[in-house]
Structure 1
Amino acid sequence: MIVDKVSDLIGNTPLLQIPVSPGPTRLFLKMEKMNPGGSTKDRMAYSMVLAAIKAGRLRPGGVVVESSSGNTGIGLAIAAVEFGLRFIAVVDHHAAPDKIAVMRALGAEIRTVTGTYREDEVAVVERQRLAAQIAAEIPGAIFMNQSDNTANAGGYSAFVREAVAQVGDRIDAYVGCVGTGGSVTGIGRGLKAHDARTLIAAVEPEGSIVFGGPGHPYYQSGTGTPEGDTVGLVLDYGCIDLGLRVSDAQAFETARYFARRYGLLVGGSTGGALYKALELVAEGRIAGNVLVSVADGGEKYLQTIFNDAWMESKGLHDPTVWDRLDAWLGRRAGAASRPEVPLLAVA
């Protein structure tokens, strides 16, 4: 297939099947990291920009302002290039340096919030306040506000059509991350419209407040709702059957496990979704065709999740996660479950 513009490369991502033993369950990974911006957020970013243009809120030469931990910002930067727009990304210290570098490479202007924050604290409230202020001060600018933007969830309709056609059978369960709620809402509604029996499980970090638990800082990036923020209006709780929490250690060790066991680099939030999906299968709570979105790739987290020294300094190493995953996936368990040499040393 030959296309005419980069946005035409968004979607039609392949499926990777991972054997799960024992039992008839098939685990399908939708490889959203293969979108041009490296994440599933390309879908919603393009959808939001296109909707704003069609509604007359954005005109040629206009300005898009958005609070982002990186992936949405990358998607918006790509869309801004295509439509001749200026893009300003408001980030905090929690954003991965590699994501910020990609946004800059695509022409985005970066504004970083100031203040005293813990390293594991997401400053999303201040990010959103600053983004709204910047947009109000620039003629022709709009604050995209992904958390409350209905076009966020609307960007995932093609994901559902693709997955249903690729699996070629019913999808019994979908397990995905929940942050703003756009992806799990768009995918959840679409899958249930196709087959009301599909179970939708949404995974948030421990410390996120999406499902009403106690809030505290966490390291997982681009997922969950931190304490002090409000859950986005785009999130539809009605399409979610299970709300689950995953620890930073479980999420990050799972990402590292899939790198060493399968040669697949996934981001931390995807590691969390994979861990909870396999745990649900092991507990007998889901079976059949299970779908997980690889929301982004581990290439953006080489200085953190895949850096032994960083993991050690944050107290996030947990060898028991590797043993559980070996058991759940029917692989060899024991002392060799975790590598004895560093995954990656970054100066």
Structure 2
Amino acid sequence: MTTTVMTATARPGTAPAAAPGFEDISRVLADRAPARADLDKPFAPLEAEAHRLLPALAALRHGIGDTPLVPVPSRAGRGRVWLKAEASNTSGSVKSRTAYALLCGAVASAGTPELRLTEYSGGSLAVALAEMCGHLGLDLHLVVPYGVSERLQTALRRQGAQVTVGREGTGFLGSMDEAVRVAEREDRHLLLQHCAAESAAMHREHTGAEIIGQLSGYGVEPVALAAGVGTGGSLAGTALAMAGAWPHCRPVAVFPSEAVYGDERAPDGARRMSGTGGLGHGIRQPLLSAFPEGYFSYTTVAYPQALDAMRHLRREHGISVSGSGAGAWLTASAEVDQGPPGRNAVAVVASRGTIEEWEHAAGI
């Protein structure tokens, strides 16, 4: 089956002053949006300070990172795509890195481990945060989008997290908006993953550095890096690191066709690659819009395409990937297959995929 990957027309920019009906999150995103220089700040000193204040954080570090890089053929077989398989992180996804970075940033900036936290998530980050905060004894209130499975909500509560569900019909943006109100009403620190420069910094110093070391051992020079975008932290940080080693490696942000970058439409609950997507009302991910125009290429993958690619990778190569990982593989494949044979690209694979994604894949 031939899979077409369409290029989105949205361009980087700044978030509107206030999306209608979502004034709270619009205000906070604008107030806390990082500057480009913030993404270059070192993560290691912040991490060391967090470990000093909360030594138990250091124990969590051992289950995060050093994930494998698995080569598979590109879609047309003209080159290779190296899959950065993040499922081997302690919580089963790339969001282990994000959760750890967020907690290090919160503890270090507050100067104390005595924190009451809140955050929004539709899945993997919620799982990682709930596990880590349960281990650390931190008070966590999570806000999930309307329609999130009871299975996930029950799992989060079992870890000791409070769980609130966003308003019906407001999509992921609704959970973000509600998290702002929870933080202000309950005097909690809002982690705000979409503005977390420390997340990009950790990916620069660790995820990107890992890929450089792994590919250099094989003598491989990649022509592209592809990653599905939720916040953009993993793509931004990894791209910064890889640009230092391979200046001509093109970073590509992968969005679902159902919710493109900077989507002007109101948010909805349409099925799409899990953990990815535009937020609606023209809001753009601050971690991406901190970069100059043209730094990233933007590509979209429709959910049925991602599901088909998930099935293909499992059937042909024995590897289970998330929808966003499948979309990244398709995108990286397009980069190598359109050029001379024998080229290489990297795709970040966030996880092995959710139960719901595999149920949908089985039904196509």
TM-score (ref. length: structure 1): 0.78
CA contact (8 A) 2:253 2:298 kept: yes
For 1:105 and 1:187, locate their aligned partners in 2 and report how far apart those are by CA, in whole Å: 33
Over aligned residue pairs, what C-alpha RMSD do you find?
2.7
Match of 1:259 in 2: 314
Q: CA deviation at 1:177?
A: 0.9
Match of 2:337 in 1: 282
Q: CA deviation at 1:38?
A: 0.9
Q: Give the counterpart of 1:196 among 231, 247, 270.
A: 247
Match of 2:201 in 1: 154
Q: CA deviation at 1:229?
A: 5.9
Q: Tell me which of the two structures has the higher relative contact order, counting C-alpha pairs closer than 8 angstroms and 6 or more residues apart.
A: 2
| Aligned amino acid, residue 254 of structure 1 | A
SS at match of 1:305: helix
Match of 1:312 in 2: none
Match of 1:224 in 2: 277
Q: CA deviation at 1:240?
A: 3.7
CA contact (8 A) 2:260 2:300 kept: no
Query: Which stretch has the larger CA shift, 195-204 or 74-83?
Result: 74-83
| Aligned amino acid, residue 149 of structure 1 | A
Structure 1 alignment gaps of length 5 or more: 309-316, 318-347
Q: Deviations over 1:304-344 (max 9, x none)?
A: 43442xxxxxxxx3xxxxxxxxxxxxxxxxxxxxxxxxxxx
Q: Deviations over 1:71-110 (max 9, x none)?
A: 1112222331343211111112353555444433332221
Aligned residues: 299
SS at match of 2:82: strand
Q: Give the counterpart of 2:183 among 113, 135, 153.
A: 135
Q: CA deviation at 1:234?
A: 1.6
| Aligned amino acid, residue 162 of structure 1 | E
Match of 1:243 in 2: 298
For 2:127 and 2:291, locate their aligned partners in 1 and report how far apart those are by CA, in whole Å: 27
Match of 2:161 in 1: 108
Match of 2:127 in 1: 74
SS at match of 2:61: helix
CA contact (8 A) 1:176 1:201 kept: yes
TM-score (ref. length: structure 2): 0.74
Name the CA shift for 1:125/1:211 in 2 (closer, same or farther; >3 Å). closer
Match of 1:181 in 2: 232
Q: CA deviation at 1:228?
A: 2.4
Q: CA deviation at 1:138?
A: 1.9
1:125 lines up with 2:176 in the alignment: no
For 2:312 and 2:149, locate their aligned partners in 1 and report how far apart those are by CA, in whole Å: 21
Q: CA deviation at 1:251?
A: 1.0
For 1:57 and 1:263, locate their aligned partners in 2 and report how far apart those are by CA, in whole Å: 46
Name the CA shift for 1:85/1:207 in 2 (closer, same or farther; >3 Å). same
CA contact (8 A) 1:177 1:270 kept: yes
Q: Give the counterpart of 2:86 among 32, 37, 40.
A: 32
Match of 2:50 in 1: none
Structure 2 alignment gaps of length 5 or more: 1-57
For 2:287 and 2:117, locate their aligned partners in 1 and report how far apart those are by CA, in whole Å: 19
For 1:286 and 1:215, locate their aligned partners in 2 and report how far apart those are by CA, in whole Å: 42
CA contact (8 A) 2:222 2:249 kept: yes
Match of 1:334 in 2: none
Higher helix fraction (1 or 2): 2
CA contact (8 A) 2:335 2:345 kept: no
